Chains A and B, each alone.
Chain A
Amino acid sequence: VTRVLLRCTTATFCLMTAGYALLCASPFTFHNFVRADLFGASTFALWHARLYWLWLAIAIVDIRSSVPEPVRYWRIFAAVWALPGAYLAIRPILPVLADDRRSIVVGIVSFVPLIWIAVVEYWTRRRWLADQRPIASGDVDRAEGRLLFAAAATALFVAIGSALLVPILMRGQFEPDLLTAGLALGLTWTLSDAAVIFFGAFLTVATTARLVRRASLTSQYLALLLVAGVGAAVCFDRAVAQTLGFAGSSRVAIDVAAAAAIAATWGAQQVRKLADSGVAVSSPIDLLLGAAPQPRPVRVLLLPLGVVLAATWAASTATRNVDWDFVMVNAATASLWAAAFVHLYRGAPARAIRSATLAAICLAPLTVWLGATSAEHARPSIRRTLNRYLVYNASLRVGDSVLQRATATATPLQRFLREHTSVAGPDLRPIDLDFVAPLPRLVRPPHVFLFVIDSLRPDYLSPYNRSVTFTPRIAQFASESVVFSNAMTRYGATGLSLPAIWSGAVGLHYQYLKPFAPMNTLEKFLTVNGYRRVLNTDVLMARLIEPSAGTIELGPGRGLGDHDLCATLQELESRFPATGDGDPPVFAYSNPQNLHLADLVTASVPEGERYDGFHAPYASRVRAVDACFGTFVDFLKRRGLYDRSVIVLTSDHGELLGEEGRWGHAYYLFPQVLQVPLIVHLPASAPVDDALDRGALSWSIDIVPTIYAAAGYSARPANALMGAPLIGPTRIDTAARRRGDYVVEASYSAVYGVVRKNGRRVYIIDAVSGSEYGYTRRTDGGWDAVPVVDAIRAPAQRILREHVDEARRVYRLPALK
Chain B
Amino acid sequence: VKRTLLLVALLLVYAAFAFRGAVRGILQRGAFDPLLPFGRTVELSIGDKRFGEALPAALELQQAYPTEPLVAYWLARIHHGLEHPAAEAEAWERYMALSPAPAEACPSLPLAYTRLRRIDLALATYERCARLASDDADLLRDLGTAYADAGKASEAKAAFDRAAQLDPDWPPAREGMR
Contact = CB atoms under 8 A, between A and B. Distances in A.
Whether A associates with B in a native complex is yes
Interface size class of chain B, counting residues whose CB lies under 8 Å from the partner chain: 35 or more
A682 B77 CA distance: 41
Contact of A485 (B14, B137, B169): B169
Interface in B53-110: 69-70, 73, 99-101, 104
Q: Which 10 A-B pairs have the closest CB atoms?
A: A409-B21, A408-B21, A790-B100, A695-B169, A412-B35, A791-B101, A207-B7, A791-B100, A407-B18, A210-B4
Contacts of B3: 141, 210, 355
A251 interface: no
B10 A203 contact: yes
Contacts of A199: 14
B13 interface: yes
Nearest to A402: B18
A161 to B, nearest CB: 24
B14 A200 contact: yes
Contacts of B17: 196, 366, 370, 407
Given A757-B136, A758-B138, 17 more contacts: A199-B14, A203-B14, A206-B7, A355-B2, A359-B10, A362-B14, A363-B13, A407-B19, A409-B19, A409-B22, A412-B35, A790-B100, A791-B101, A794-B69, A795-B104, A805-B43, A817-B37
A350 to B, nearest CB: 16
Contacts of A691: 171
A792 interface: yes
Contacts of A362: 10, 14
Contacts of A791: 100-101
Nearest to A809: B47
Interface string B152-176: 0000000000000001011110000
Nearest to B44: A815
Nearest to A416: B35
Interface in B35-58: 35, 37, 40, 43-44, 47-48
Contact of B33 (A358, A412, A790): A412
B27 interface: no
Contacts of B101: 790-792, 794-795
A693 B171 contact: yes
Contacts of A809: 47-48
A206 B11 CA distance: 10
B20 interface: yes
A204 B15 CA distance: 10
A35 interface: no
B8 interface: yes
Nearest to B40: A817
Nearest to A201: B14
A444 B141 CA distance: 42
B35 A413 contact: yes
A806 B47 contact: yes
Contacts of B2: 355
Contacts of B47: 802, 805-806, 809
Contact of A695 (B8, B43, B100, B167): B167
Contacts of A407: 17-21
A210 B2 CA distance: 11
A530 to B, nearest CB: 37
A210 B18 CA distance: 21
Nearest to B166: A779
A739 interface: yes
A805 to B, nearest CB: 5
A801 interface: yes
Interface in B129-160: 136-138, 141
**Secondary structure call for the B interface:** helix
A798 interface: yes
Contact of A798 (B14, B34, B141): B34
A646 B25 CA distance: 55
A485 B168 CA distance: 13
A621 interface: no
Contacts of B100: 789-791, 794
Interface of A: 141, 196, 199-200, 203-204, 206-207, 210-211, 355, 358-359, 362-363, 366, 370, 407-409, 412-413, 416, 485, 691, 693-695, 734-735, 738-739, 757-758, 789-792, 794-795, 797-798, 801-802, 805-806, 809, 815, 817
Contacts of A734: 171-172
A226 to B, nearest CB: 16
Nearest to B4: A210
Given A407-B18, A806-B47, A366 B13 contact: yes
Contact of B14 (A366, A797, A806): A366
Nearest to B70: A798
A784 B147 CA distance: 33
Q: For B3, B25, B141, which residue has the most chain A Cβ atoms within 10 angstroms?
A: B3
Contacts of A196: 14, 17
A798 B171 contact: no
Nearest to B171: A693
A801 B42 CA distance: 12
B5 to A, nearest CB: 9
Contacts of B169: 485, 694-695
Contacts of B6: 355, 358-359
B43 A802 contact: yes
A211 B8 CA distance: 9
Nearest to B33: A412
12 contacts: A200-B18, A207-B11, A359-B6, A359-B10, A362-B10, A407-B19, A409-B19, A409-B21, A416-B35, A791-B101, A795-B101, A801-B34
A339 B13 CA distance: 27
Nearest to A412: B35
Interface in B120-136: 136
A307 B18 CA distance: 31
B138 A735 contact: yes
A607 B37 CA distance: 64
A692 to B, nearest CB: 8
A529 to B, nearest CB: 32
Contacts of A141: 3
A211 B120 CA distance: 75
A708 to B, nearest CB: 23
B144 to A, nearest CB: 13
A409 B43 contact: no
A809 B46 CA distance: 12
Contacts of A794: 69-70, 99-101
Contacts of B40: 815, 817
A749 B73 CA distance: 30
A209 to B, nearest CB: 9
Nearest to A204: B11
Contact of B138 (A359, A739, A795, A801): A739
Contacts of B70: 794, 798
B4 A735 contact: no
A424 to B, nearest CB: 21
Given A200-B18, A815-B44, A798 B8 contact: no
B7 A735 contact: no
B92 to A, nearest CB: 14
A409 B25 contact: yes
Nearest to A413: B35
Contacts of A801: 34-35, 43
A408 B17 CA distance: 10
Nearest to B100: A790
Nearest to B19: A407
A204 to B, nearest CB: 7
B75 to A, nearest CB: 14
Contacts of B48: 809
B38 to A, nearest CB: 11
Contacts of B4: 207, 210-211
Contacts of B7: 203, 206-207, 210
Contacts of A359: 6, 10
A444 B148 CA distance: 46
